[in-house]
Each structure stands twice: as structure tokens, then as C-alpha cells.
Amino acid sequence: SQQGEEDPQALSIQEGENATMNCSYKTSINNLQWYRQNSGRGLVHLILIRSNEREKHSGRLRVTLDTSKKSSSLLITASRAADTASYFCATDAGGNDMRFGAGTRLTVKP
Amino acid sequence: EAGVVQSPRYKIIEKKQPVAFWCNPISGHNTLYWYLQNLGQGPELLIRYENEEAVDDSQLPKDRFSAERLKGVDSTLKIQPAELGDSAVYLCASSADTFPGELFFGEGSRLTVL
């Protein structure tokens, strides 16, 4: 069963614009992670945010976490065509297994 | 350092045939995961190993799926017999931590059942 739900399912923007993806989850967590998947490839870890953190940055990525609303957002600033991929959030649901959402398919047009 | 290695990358079989997928995790990673990913969906956990012990196999359809991780290193996932609905990508991931940290994924094995 999948723990998280990403929103929107698909997002299309122009190069240089910012992209925001949201993730909602159902149960309490210890940490939440975001992954990227290029077509036909495996998933690549982007960033991990712990339940006691509210915001985290990594390069052009900014992740926020609101445990009271059970939601997280991933912001990609100044997007590039190479950012075109599917983005997934994953949570541990308080245990040791990472459960993934259905993902947001991001298309960045040059 | 080598990443997670999976083989085969692609497999096409007829229904009712057996199939096996192999995964070699990153050296030193004690935790190994098998996920199933349907087209347009996120990965769904099948089984998690801590060393050679399967600590969570609640999502593994045990009537036709089996997995093993001998000596706590590489792992094999088997389907016998395969059904049409098993067509998917089978992803292997490993982690250095028992508590969920960063997962490192292989490229996946794409199965097509005809």
C-alpha cells in the first residue's frame, strides 16, 4: 500500500520557472524523503527531512515539512530541461520501511 | 564505488513460466529492499531484508513469489508461475542503515509477461 500522495500528478513549466510539488501522508513519520526518477531508470535520492525539521535546502531544492498537516512540499527553483523527471515522496510511516507515493511527473520545456 | 546492480534489465516471458531477478547491493549495505513499480505509479514494497533475515515480507504474494538473500549480500527474487499482471519493473534498493536513511536504487528489471 502507498503511504504518500503527490500533487499535482503532472506539472508542465517553462525553463527558468519554479516547480512546486506537494506530498500528503497518512500516519506519523520519523522522516520524509524525496526521490527523482528519470524515464526508464532507478530512483535517485534528493533530500531527507526529519520530523523535527521544518525546512531544508540542497542546491536549487527546498523542502518543507508540516507534521501537523501531514504534508511536505518540494520546490525546484530556476528549473532546467534536465529536471524533467518523476518526483516521489517517501515516508517511513514510523517504522523501518520506506513507502512511496504515486509521484509527480514534471516536464520542463526549453 | 559500484552502485546497486540488477539483472536482467529486461525479460520477456510467456505466462506460467518462471522468472528470476538478481540484485547485488552496495558493499557494506545491510538492508536490502525489493520494490515493484507499475507504469505511472510509485514503487511498492515487496520485501525488506536486514542482513539475511526477511524482516518485512507482508506485501509479498507468497503463493507465487519467493525471495532469498543468502549470506546477507546479493538477493534473488523469483516468480513462479508468472501471470500477465506481473508485468512491471522490479526495483532493488539498499541502505546502510537499519533505520530508514537514504535508499540507493538499481536500474530495475523490466518484466513483460505475454
pLDDT tens per residue, range B41-55: 999 999 999 888 998
- Name which of A13-17, A83-87, B58-62 the model is least confident about: B58-62
pLDDT at B1: 66
What is the DSSP code (8-state) at residue B33? E
Is the Cβ of A36 closer than 8 Å to some Cβ of chain B? no
Q: Cβ of A103 and B48 within 8 Å?
A: no
Burial label, B50 (beta-carbon count in 10 A; 0-12, 13-18, 19+): middle
Say if residue A1's pLDDT is above 60. Answer: no
Over the stretch A14-61, which tens digit does the pLDDT of each residue have? 999 999 999 999 888 889 999 999 999 999 999 999 999 999 999 999
Say if residue B79's pLDDT is above 60. Answer: yes
Is the Cβ of B41 closer than 8 Å to some Cβ of chain A? yes
Beta carbons within 8 Å of B63's beta carbon, 6+ residues apart: none
Q: Cβ of A48 and B104 within 8 Å?
A: no
- Name which of A77-86, B36-45, B71-80, B93-102 the model is least confident about: B93-102
> d(Cα B78, Cα B34) in Å, to the nearest integer?
11
> d(Cα A22, Cα A89) in Å, to the nearest integer?
9
Residue pair A53/A65 in contact (Cβ under 8 Å)? The answer is yes
Beta carbons within 8 Å of A76's beta carbon, 6+ residues apart: A18, A19, A20, A60, A61, A83, A106
CA distance A29 to chain B (A): 11
Average pLDDT, chain A: 92
pLDDT at B109: 98
Q: Residue B100, preceding bond cis, omega within 30 degrees?
A: no
The residues that bridge with B67 in the sheet, in sequence order, are B77
Q: Cβ of A103 and B41 within 8 Å?
A: yes
Which is higher by pLDDT, B97 or A90? Answer: A90
Say if residue A106's pLDDT is above 70. Answer: yes
Confidence of residue A3 (pLDDT cuts 50, 70, 90): low
Tell me which residue in B41, B98, B106 faces A42 most closely, judged by beta carbons: B106
Beta carbons within 8 Å of B64's beta carbon, 6+ residues apart: B79, B80, B81, B82, B83, B86
As a whole number, mean pLDDT of residues B4-23 equals: 97
Is the Cβ of B28 closer than 8 Å to some Cβ of chain A? no
Which is higher by pLDDT, A74 or A26? Answer: A74
Chain center to CA of A51: 15
Say if residue A2's pLDDT is above 60. Answer: no
As a whole number, mean pLDDT of residues B13-39 equals: 95
> d(Cα A3, Cα A100) in Å, to the nearest integer?
6
Tell me which residue in B45, B93, B107 faces A99 most closely, judged by beta carbons: B45
pLDDT at B70: 83
